[in-house]
Amino acid sequence: MDESDRYSACARNVEEKQPGIVANTSMSGCFQYYLEVDDCMKKYNYIVSILMMVLSGYILFETGTYEIGQSAQKNPAVWPRFLAVALIILSVVLIVQTIFSHNPEMESFSIDWKGTGMRKVYIMFGLTIGFVVVLKVLGMLIALLLLIPAIEWLLGCRSKVMMIALPVGLVVFVYVFFGIIMKLTLPGPFWA
């Protein structure tokens, strides 16, 4: 599909869904709209189906290496293989369903991977990885003491009092409840 085809496809979409925009739609603006429409649930359904098929393929491959006995009870591969085949069938069903679907919800669905909310989630992923590293080195309580205010900050908290009081309060609660009442040995710093 070259750009003029894209433009006409896009213009059709715009005309059908947002008539008011047509008059002001430039070639580049329309192409942008086309890309946005393209980022719909259909694309994600295809990706999910392919990933599930890859997973099923791996299961079939690994179970092929198992030693198999005569009966079902002596066959550790029978159940995972059955599930893998079912997953392949469902993936095909999802692809077919997606191709023939005229559900407007599926067309209008999009994920804003670059939006502020998603960026906050990416930061949270980073905080989680950082937490795991700090947990291994400095232990549970110190890691929580750093993670809690970081999440508060991420969610828009700028109150210094709350950014100190909540982590301290929660860590004291964790220490008292788990460490003292439950007698649980929490992971400590590497030097302890």
Partner 1 sequence: MNVDALMMAFSAVFTPYNVLVICGGTILGIFIGAMPGMSSVMGLSIMLPFTFQLKGYASIMMLLGIFCGSIYGGSISATLMNTPGTAASAATCMDAYPMAVIKRQPGRALAISTFSSLCGGLFSCVVLVFGATALAKVALNFTSPEYFALAFFGISIITGVSGKSIVKGLMGGILGLLFATVGVDNFTGTARFTFGSSFMRGGLAMVPILIGVFAFAQALKTIEEKYNEKPFKEKVVIERVLPMKEDLKRIGPTVLRSAILGTFIGAVPGTGGDIASWVGYNEAKRWSKHKEEFGHGAPEGIAGSEAANNAIAGGAFVPLLALGIPGDAGTAVMLGALTMMGIVSGPLLFVESPEQAYTIFIGLFVANVLMGVFGFLMIRIFGKVINIPNKYLVPVIVTFCITGTFALNRYLEEVFLMLIMGVIGYFLIKLEFSMPPIILGLVLGTLAEKNARRGLDILAGTDSVWDHPIAIIFVILGIISLVSPAISAMMKKRKEAKAGGSEG
Q: Does 132 bind partner 1 (CB under 8 A)?
A: yes
Number of residues in contact with partner 1 under rule CB under 8 A: 65
Residues 48-87 touching partner 1, rule: CB under 8 A, are 48, 52, 59, 62-63, 66-67, 69, 71-76, 78-80, 83, 86-87
Q: Which stretch binds partner 1 (CB under 8 A): 2-10, 14-22, 30-38, 127-135?
A: 127-135
For 149, other C-beta atoms within 10 Å of its C-beta total 19
Helix, strand, coil abundance in the chain, percent, nearest 5: 75, 0, 25
Q: Which tokens go with 181?
A: 């009442």
Among 93, 137, 168, 176, binds partner 1 (CB under 8 A): 93
Among 46, 97, 130, 146, binds partner 1 (CB under 8 A): 97
Element of type H or E holding 168: helix 160-174
Q: Does 148 bind partner 1 (CB under 8 A)?
A: yes
As a whole number of angstroms, the distance between CA 163 and CA 7 comes to 51
Using the CB atoms, write b or e for 8-21: b if 16+ within 10 Å: eebbebbeeeeeee
As a whole number of angstroms, the distance between CA 102 and CA 95 comes to 13
Q: Is 118 helix (H, G, I), strand (E, B) or coil?
A: helix
Least distance in Å: CB of 55 to partner 1?
8
C-alpha R_g of the chain: 26
Least distance in Å: CB of 37 to partner 1?
18
Q: Does 152 bind partner 1 (CB under 8 A)?
A: yes
166 contacts 148 by C-beta, under 8 angstroms? yes
Chain residues that interact with partner 1, rule: CB under 8 A: 41, 44, 48, 52, 59, 62-63, 66-67, 69, 71-76, 78-80, 83, 86-87, 90-91, 93-94, 97, 105, 109, 111, 116-118, 120-121, 124-125, 128, 131-132, 135-136, 140, 144, 147-149, 151-152, 154-157, 162, 166-167, 170, 174, 177-178, 182, 184-187
